[in-house]
Copies of this chain bind each other. A is one copy, B any other.
Amino acid sequence: MTKKNADYLLKITPVGGVGQIGSNMTLVQSQKDCIIIDAGILFPYEDFFDINYLIPDLAHIPEPSHLVITHGHEDHIGAVVDVVKKFPKIQIIATPFTLALIRKKLEFNHLQAKLVEYKVSDELGFHEFNIYPIHVNHSIPETVGLLIKDQKEKMGLFFTSDFKIDHVSPYERPFDFQKLKRLSANLESRLLLCDSTNITSSALTTKGEAEIIPVMDELFQQAPERIFITCFSSNIHRLSTIINLAVKHNKKVVPYGRSMISYLNSANELGMIPNFEKAVRMPETVKGDTENLIVLLSGCQGDFRGTFRRFCMGEDSIFKPRPTDTVILSSKAIPGNEKKISLLLNKLAEVNCHIFTPQTHLVHVSGHPGRKDLLELFSEYKPHHIIPIHGETYFIREHIKFIQEEYPNAQTHYILNNDELTISQDLKLKTTQCEHFEPILIHGKGIEIQRPRISERRKLACNGAIFVSLKLSSTKAKVESFTYDYLGLPDLIHETDDKFNKFLNHYFITINFKDIEAATEDLRVAIRKYFDQSLGYKPMTTVHVL
């Protein structure tokens, strides 16, 4: 990021979420203020081998006073713990349900932070700007967009966060265009930071949550026996649909999996699940063979340690798939997880379960706007400037192309993570390309693992490893004994052990152990070459000389 430049009104820096899907975090600065909006994680987007998640690199941002959260998805709150560790004085501002989720996270990590609750009707005042929460629709309750206005009310910047437009949701009112328009109508300049997630989707309008209900109703009616449903645990409205239909069909709902139970309890504690007592039963109170069961499985992305996967693989101790089971995937694969999920469908198909997916039935709707929905927002808010956010670079470019073609009234601006968008006192916009920082990989007990270490892991996985130890005679003149181990190498290699032993013994004679370091490296290189000839690749080789 550049040094504080003279006299801007507002400076916006996406720290995460622009140029990638996830790890949403946006820095908003005025001369006197420095806050961040959201603190999300990024799910591993390429093969990082079992790491937990990625977070934006926090080393390069100034200390923010506040963290304002738009909604409780992991890609918006997952890095709260990391932010609190880095900036212990930060105040976290969120709506009740989101705050409940954050509180659990902090407790789990034995961390404390100043938490402040806000309601969508509130106004959040800072030194030089105010933030007006605007109710939007999404796939988790209490999602808000944020309208940021300078004190003089010349300029407004509407940060959509993730959103959709649902005019007929049974669970919440539609996107609050009225409030947005009321608060922005008289502004000289209206800016829009807008969700790009579904810009390449062929669905121009995103369907409403209500459209799932008759489909689920029919599937519940048809189901010969037990019903298993997997969806995002945070999709409380989806869970409500299922629980309400369970009451109608006289079935019991069992949340199964840590996150499913946790989200459902959080929502219920805030009174968001009216039929909870009537229909929901905890897994320890039911037997696997009860007929009238609807089991809600967490891990809809096929996660390796997830409940959905365990069920499909037949590895769960209570619930094993049966031909009479109905299995509904009420969620879509996040890009990268398609194959993992389809392999699980095969497992269910082997058993001959009744399988229903979003590809064949309307059992899932997206939480993001299609292109026509975007146009609806544009025509309501009438932005002068649009800056696409929340999307991979390709999506950001496609979004800009779309705006240029379909809403030429607005000027478009292209920024990625770490770049700056500056709004001057006279409301001119400037984008500045800055140094880009790679997200940080977190593994195990919340520990950063560096990319060169991931490269080592990749080499180990792709080429296997050989460990060789030698014991020199006291004069270092000869090798007294040696031993070696192969890891991850084909069994064939054991058949040629004699040859390898001969090779080593022959090599030891030629080598001078006076310079142990050089001798060790020579031997290491020679062993790699030796195996390359037979295997076609060089195992990672470590040699110890003692």
Hey, which bits of chain A sit against chain B, CB under 8 A? 19, 45-47, 49-50, 200, 202, 335-336, 338-340, 342-343, 345-350, 352, 355, 357, 359-360, 392-394, 396-398, 416, 443-450, 453-454, 456-458, 460-465, 467, 469-471, 480-483, 485, 487-492, 534-537, 540, 542, 544, 546
Partner of A456, one of B446, B450, B480, B488: B488
**With contacts A393-B349, A394-B348, A448-B492 known, is A467 near B464, CB below 8 A?**
no
Q: How far is the CB of A305 from chain B (nearest CB, A)?
A: 12
Provide the residues of chain B in CB contact with A19, threshold 8 Å: 346, 350
Q: How far is the CB of A75 from chain B (nearest CB, A)?
A: 16
Known: A50-B461, A457-B462, A460-B461. 9 other contacts (CB 8 A): A19-B346, A200-B360, A336-B338, A342-B394, A350-B416, A443-B536, A457-B460, A457-B461, A457-B487
Provide the residues of chain B in CB contact with A448, threshold 8 Å: 490-492
**With contacts A393-B349, A457-B460, A546-B546 known, is A445 near B535, CB below 8 A?**
yes
CA distance A448 to B460 in the complex (A): 18
Instruction: Name which residue of chain B comes closest to A338, CB basis.
Output: B335
The interface centre, meaning the residue of A397, A457, A488, A546 with most chain B CB atoms within 10 A of its CB, is: A488
Provide the residues of chain B in CB contact with A488, threshold 8 Å: 453-454, 456-457, 460
The interface centre, meaning the residue of A393, A483, A536, A537 with most chain B CB atoms within 10 A of its CB, is: A393
Enumerate the 8 nearest inter-chain pairs by beta-carbon distance, A residue then B residue, closest first: A444-B536, A336-B339, A445-B536, A461-B461, A50-B462, A471-B546, A457-B488, A469-B544
**With contacts A343-B45, A536-B447 known, is A491 near B453, CB below 8 A?**
yes
Q: How far is the CB of A337 from chain B (nearest CB, A)?
A: 8
Partner of A443, one of B450, B490, B542: B490
CA distance A492 to B392 in the complex (A): 31
CA distance A461 to B483 in the complex (A): 24
Q: How far is the CB of A234 from chain B (nearest CB, A)?
A: 22
In the complex the two chains form, is B462's CB within 8 Å of A343's CB?
Answer: no
In the complex the two chains form, is B542's CB within 8 Å of A392's CB?
Answer: no
Q: How far is the CB of A85 from chain B (nearest CB, A)?
A: 14
CA distance A394 to B357 in the complex (A): 11
In the complex the two chains form, is B535's CB within 8 Å of A444's CB?
Answer: yes
CA distance A450 to B461 in the complex (A): 14
CA distance A358 to B300 in the complex (A): 27
Provide the residues of chain B in CB contact with A394, threshold 8 Å: 342, 345-346, 348-349, 355
Instruction: Name which residue of chain B comes closest to A442, CB basis.
Output: B490
Provide the residues of chain B in CB contact with A447, threshold 8 Å: 490, 492, 535-536
Q: How far is the CB of A508 from chain B (nearest CB, A)?
A: 14
CA distance A462 to B457 in the complex (A): 7
Q: How far is the CB of A432 from chain B (nearest CB, A)?
A: 16
Instruction: Name which residue of chain B comes closest to A460, CB basis.
Output: B460
In the complex the two chains form, is A46's CB within 8 Å of B335's CB?
Answer: no
Q: How far is the CB of A159 from chain B (nearest CB, A)?
A: 22
Q: How far is the CB of A46 from chain B (nearest CB, A)?
A: 7
A-B contact pairs, 12 of them (CB 8 A): A19-B350, A46-B339, A202-B359, A336-B339, A345-B393, A349-B397, A444-B535, A444-B536, A445-B534, A448-B490, A453-B464, A460-B464
CA distance A240 to B487 in the complex (A): 48
The interface centre, meaning the residue of A340, A343, A470 with most chain B CB atoms within 10 A of its CB, is: A343
Provide the residues of chain B in CB contact with A540, threshold 8 Å: 487
**With contacts A445-B534, A457-B460 known, is A544 near B393, CB below 8 A?**
no
In the complex the two chains form, is A200's CB within 8 Å of B359's CB?
Answer: yes
Provide the residues of chain B in CB contact with A336, threshold 8 Å: 338-339
Provide the residues of chain B in CB contact with A50, threshold 8 Å: 461-463
CA distance A349 to B196 in the complex (A): 14
